Amino acid sequence: MKESSTPNNRRKFLQQLLTGSMATLAMPMLGASGEPRQSLVAGDASDERYWEMVKKQFAVPPKLMMMNAANLCPSPYSINELVTETLQHLGQDVSFQYRHQFADKRGMAIEKMSQFVGVGKEEIGIVRNTTEGNSIIVNGLDLKAGDEIILWDQNHASNNIAWEQRARRYGFTIKKITVPASPQSVEELLTPFTKAITPKTRLISFSHVSNTSGIALPAKEICRYARTKNVLTLVDGAQSLGMIDLNLKDMGCDFYTASTHKWLLGPYENGVVYISREQLDKIWPTVISAGWKDTGKTVDEKLCVLGQRNETTPFALPETIDFQLSVGKKVIEERVRKLTAYLKDQIRTKIPQATFVSPLPAELSAGIVIFNLPGKTPAETYQKLYDVYGIACAATGGIRLSPHIYNTLEDIDRLVTALGSLAA
């Protein structure tokens, strides 16, 4: 569908949506620079016209296509504008009086995030990214010689190498486990973890979704089994927060970390760390700055007092969560799964020589699709997709594609056509 570019055309298109099966839930919208604000009305997620309107919430120009949500996502116009305006105002007034609002907004962000993931607000802290959240757990948990932790060999470096370095210093043991490269069932992903537990095991630490294979582990099953053995669990949620409809209490993990600038579509350099209230006293702070108090009773008070930081980005986190909720957590997950399923199907149909790294069954994967083209290196394909077709992806574990709600089925068709040309 040709993109409308004027306020009148956009209003006309919105009216067309409203005459269909649209609901009445408003979403903030900004048009191009200088255009008046409008409102997008959420409705029938099966109607591709709705997702074309969602796409217009983002500043990505028509000549470019972002397919790299696993690394970094664009934020909606409204979030970008709020961060920019806040930074500009801060540049005009850096007084304590003006900056008082940042503490209030941080508290609001923590409360909204806690509700978003189904935990208490005292169990959530704001950090800079998943890596910092992982570091808080890696360096804060008491471990000693004779203790054992279990790691998935597909973990991110901040949840793998970081543990190895600490083990070298303190003498505890690391056990890495591997899952089948082409799993056919949830049981095949669960069993390697349950079999690895011994009486010495203190913690299992794993990525919810692998950024190098696209495998989605059965986090709930792993965490619940670990709890029956009195083993703690750390879930790296860099590839699940904002994509999967999460409830951390239901998942049963003790610790969870994630970034907000990936699937959550939030401002850059922000993240969250969740520590269950039962485990908070077991984590020592690794950074202490002015304002820290030994009497801190929340995760943010005890473990996230960094000192002077850029508060203009977490300032936009409440609006980021509002944007997600205006579309709907479940709706977002269903949309991303629809896009990835369609992408897999189109690649299999139109580029049959492609070989998949990511599992094809939906229950074993999430928002990441990784594959290879015979005779083509991932780095070569990754670069040509961008240089020739304006499509941004990654060369991680293969050719890695991770679409989000700013992508349409038409985008997938354009992408697969480009891949077909490169594969020829």
Q: What is the pLDDT of residues 342-379, one digit of tens each?
A: 999 999 999 999 999 999 999 999 999 999 999 999 99
Q: Given this model, what pLDDT does residue 43 score?
A: 61
Q: How far is 356 from 58, CA to CA, in rounded Å?
A: 30
Mean pLDDT of all residues in 415-419? 98
Residue 112 corresponds to which tokens in the numbers above? Answer: 């909204």
pLDDT in tens, 238-269: 999 999 999 999 999 999 999 999 999 999 99
Same domain for 367 and 258?
Answer: no
Residue 242 within any structural domain of the chain: yes
Contact present, 377 and 384 (Cβ < 8 Å)? no
Residue 392 has pLDDT above 60, yes or no: yes
Number of domains in the chain: 3
Same domain for 155 and 252?
Answer: yes
23 pLDDT band, cuts 50/70/90, is: very low
Domain end residue (candidates: 267, 287, 322): 322
How many CA within 13 A on the CB side of residue 36? 7
Average pLDDT, the chain: 91
Domain end residue (candidates: 322, 349, 368): 322
Mean pLDDT of all residues in 267-291? 95
Question: Which residue range forms the structural domain that includes residue 30?
Answer: 1-44
Residue 35 within any structural domain of the chain: yes
Determine if residue 274 is left, alpha or beta; phi over 0 gives left, psi from -120 to 50 gives alpha, anything else beta.
beta
Q: Given this model, what pLDDT does residue 306 score?
A: 86
Residue 327 has pLDDT above 60, yes or no: yes
Same domain for 278 and 366?
Answer: no
Residue 80 within any structural domain of the chain: no
Residue 339 has pLDDT above 60, yes or no: yes
Residue 133 within any structural domain of the chain: yes
Residue 221 within any structural domain of the chain: yes
Backbone angles phi, psi at 324, to 5 degrees: -60, -45
Residue 357 corresponds to which tokens in the numbers above? Answer: 């790294």
Residue 134 within any structural domain of the chain: yes
Beta bridge partners of 125: 273
Q: Given this model, what pLDDT does residue 44 score?
A: 79
Q: How far is 180 from 42, CA to CA, in rounded Å?
A: 40
12 pLDDT band, cuts 50/70/90, is: very low
Mean pLDDT of all residues in 28-53? 62
Determine if residue 356 is left, alpha or beta; phi over 0 gives left, psi from -120 to 50 gives alpha, anything else beta.
beta
Same domain for 7 and 18?
Answer: yes
Residue 119 has pLDDT above 70, yes or no: yes
Model confidence pTM above 0.75 = yes
398 pLDDT band, cuts 50/70/90, is: very high
Closest to 26 in 3D by CA, of 3, 66, 4, 57: 57
Q: Given this model, what pLDDT does residue 403 score?
A: 98
